[in-house]
Amino acid sequence: MRIPVVVLSGFLGSGKTTLLLRLVKEAKARGVKPGILMNELGQLDVDGFTVNEFDDTNIQKLLDGCVCCSKKSELASSLNRLLPQKPDVIFIELTGVANPEEIADALTEPGLLRSMRLKQIITVLDAENVLDYNSVFSSDRQLVHTLRRQIEAADFIIVNKTDLVSPSVLQKIEKAIRKQNDRCSIAYTTHSQVDMDPLFHGIEPNAANAVSGDRLARGSALSVVKRSIREHEHLHPEPSYSRVRTMMLPWTESNPPTREKLEKFLHQRRELLLRAKGYVTLPPTGQPHLFQYAGKRMYWETTAFSGSPYLVIIGIDLDEERLLHDWNVLCEMV
Ligand SMILES: Nc1nc2c(ncn2[C@@H]2O[C@H](COP(=O)(O)OP(=O)(O)OP(=O)(O)O)[C@@H](O)[C@H]2O)c(=O)[nH]1
């Protein structure tokens, strides 16, 4: 029986990993064995540590590039490495700038088609920021195109972070979604807390799953996806994002910046910054924290992480040399 694959898409910081953690927990509660493929734009893996807390979960990570373009050739081998543990379902968490249609297409290649089937594309939206993407990223045509595709290709859209917006904003978001996708289901959530029953429909322990009800069985949906991919490749042979850059800011344990200085540093660069995350130690105690900057908000959590601290930032046209210089000046000033 072919293993159902659930693709999680959505822009940087919208709540995909939060959803993935819920899905993995739910899978375990149902006796369903999950396999996970996580893709990160940066060289370092922040979310993997959190997911690794589910100790016996089968995880593959594809770092330093986007699986829908620069890392596409590695998709099949990474997915095939999940197979020996016989997962009942595979969750693929894409980078925030990935076009999920490309993954749908890759799953129809002969090497994967025999063992896997695309069950569902779920797109998570950040309710606080999604309506601004077109204007904020107007100078990056490819990125705008990719973000539109994330909505158009979705079977299920989760409008997340509803705690940060008013009901009238949610109405506008629903209208905007329906203009682009009139067939998907929509749920409104905080912290990606969604009813799991529909998501697990047809996913059973021990993989003797019925194939019915998946996207692959619905020939028409797949052909729409395939046709739009061909159009996409024709019109956009470039990657799904163009000016998005990732870089690491070194975190010296002997001389770390304070929380306030880090926050000010990022806030001053908010126009070009899309996302930041990392494990950092804070003075004076050296307590490790998981730090996240998403949708222009900063989140801090204490953590049991015991590796070397690091901080990854993602932004538009980042000037690496200049940022590193400013960062080093900041660290020396502490
Ligand atoms: N206020 C608020 N914060 C949320 C909500 N959902 C997630 N967050 C926070 O937003 C940040 C980003 O969430 P993630 O789940 O890591 O987002 P992501 O889409 O996986 O991010 P990338 O992997 O960088 O693309 C984290 O600090 C979450 O705790 C929500 O509903 N409301």
pLDDT attached to residue 124: 98
Q: Is residue 125 located within the same domain as residue 171? A: yes
CA distance 35 to 82: 6
Query: Minimal CA–CA distance to 226: which of 292, 153, 293?
Result: 153
pLDDT attached to residue 236: 42
pLDDT attached to residue 225: 44
Give ipTM to 2 decimals.
0.99
CATH of the domain at 263: 3.30.1220.10
Regarding the beta carbon of 296 and ligand 1, being less than 6 Å apart is answered: no
pLDDT attached to residue 220: 36
Among residues 187, 208, 235, the one where a domain terminates is 235
Which residue CA neighbors atom 21 of ligand 1 most closely?
13
Count structural domains, the chain.
2
Phi, psi torsion values for 48, nearest 5 degrees:
-60, -35
Q: Is residue 203 located within the same domain as residue 251? A: no
Q: Is residue 254 located within the same domain as residue 227? A: no
Q: Is residue 276 located within the same domain as residue 137? A: no
Three-state SS at 171: helix
pLDDT attached to residue 11: 95
Among residues 195, 213, 235, the one where a domain terminates is 235
pLDDT attached to residue 210: 44
Encoded tokens for 145: 């195109």
**Which parts of the chain have pLDDT scores under 70?**
42-57, 70-71, 207-243, 333-334
- What is the dihedral sign for C-alpha 109, 112, 117, 120? negative
pLDDT attached to residue 162: 98
Specify burial of residue 300 (Cβ count, 10 A radius: 0-12, 13-18, 19+): middle
Q: Is residue 53 located within the same domain as residue 189? A: yes
Q: Is residue 205 located within the same domain as residue 258? A: no
Among residues 235, 262, 285, the one where a domain terminates is 235
Strands 116-126 and 3-9: parallel
pLDDT attached to residue 253: 74
Q: Is residue 88 located within the same domain as residue 107? A: yes
Side-chain half-sphere CA neighbours of 281 within 13 A: 18
Q: Which domain range does residue 155 map to?
A: 3-235
pLDDT attached to residue 248: 86
pLDDT attached to residue 47: 59
Which residue CA neighbors atom 16 of ligand 1 most closely?
17
CATH of the domain at 176: 3.40.50.300
Residue 333 Cα to ligand 1 midpoint, Å, equals: 31
Q: Is residue 292 located within the same domain as residue 192? A: no
Ligand 1 closest atom vs CA 299: 27
Q: Is residue 175 located within the same domain as residue 254? A: no
Q: Is residue 223 located within the same domain as residue 299? A: no
pLDDT attached to residue 185: 94
Ligand 1 closest atom vs CA 14: 19
pLDDT attached to residue 104: 82
